[in-house]
Amino acid sequence: MRRRLLIAAAFAALAITGTADAKPRPRVYSVIFEVTVDEAGKVATLKVSKVIEPATGSLDAVKVDVPEVFVEAVRVELLKRTYEPSPKPFFTYMFYDPRFPDKPNITIP
């Protein structure tokens, strides 16, 4: 009986130690943008519509300040493309990692 308690205590100690050493995973967000294009099919306006945290599995907005440098980097990325001219806005998203605020095209590990 005593041996079982010692084994259980050892496993518990390992479990606690293992979680204490685990590094927190960086948060990555999806920034959803409302986009309008001009007659040439280029981005005319770009506005942050909502920010979500995909890891939660929820589509509820989270309060995250999206820096202007990220919005401008997204604008540059979207200007590489040509869209169908339309007066109606459309929505798109880019992943945002606060560790790399000037990089809109990150790869999620």
Q: What is the structure's pLDDT at 25?
A: 73
Q: What's the structural domain count of the chain?
A: 1
Q: For residue 64, with 0-12 CB atoms within 10 Å meaning exposed, 13-18 middle and 19 or more buried, which class applies?
A: middle
Q: What is the structure's pLDDT at 26?
A: 78
Lowest-confidence pick of 12-16, 55-59, 76-80: 12-16
In a domain, 13, yes or no: no
Q: What is the structure's pLDDT at 9?
A: 46
In a domain, 20, yes or no: no
Q: What is the structure's pLDDT at 24?
A: 73
In a domain, 31, yes or no: yes
Percent of the chain at pLDDT > 90 equals: 67
Q: How confident is the model at residue 78 (pLDDT cuts 50, 70, 90)?
A: very high
In a domain, 7, yes or no: no
Return the bridge partners of 92, or none. 33
Domain around 71: 26-96
Residue 32 to residue 52: CA distance in whole angstroms = 8
Q: For residue 96, with 0-12 CB atoms within 10 Å meaning exposed, 13-18 middle and 19 or more buried, which class applies?
A: buried
Say which residue, 70 or 7, is predicted with more confidence.
70
Joined tokens for residue 7: 């084994």
Whether the pLDDT of residue 6 is over 90: the answer is no
Q: What is the structure's pLDDT at 87?
A: 87
In a domain, 33, yes or no: yes
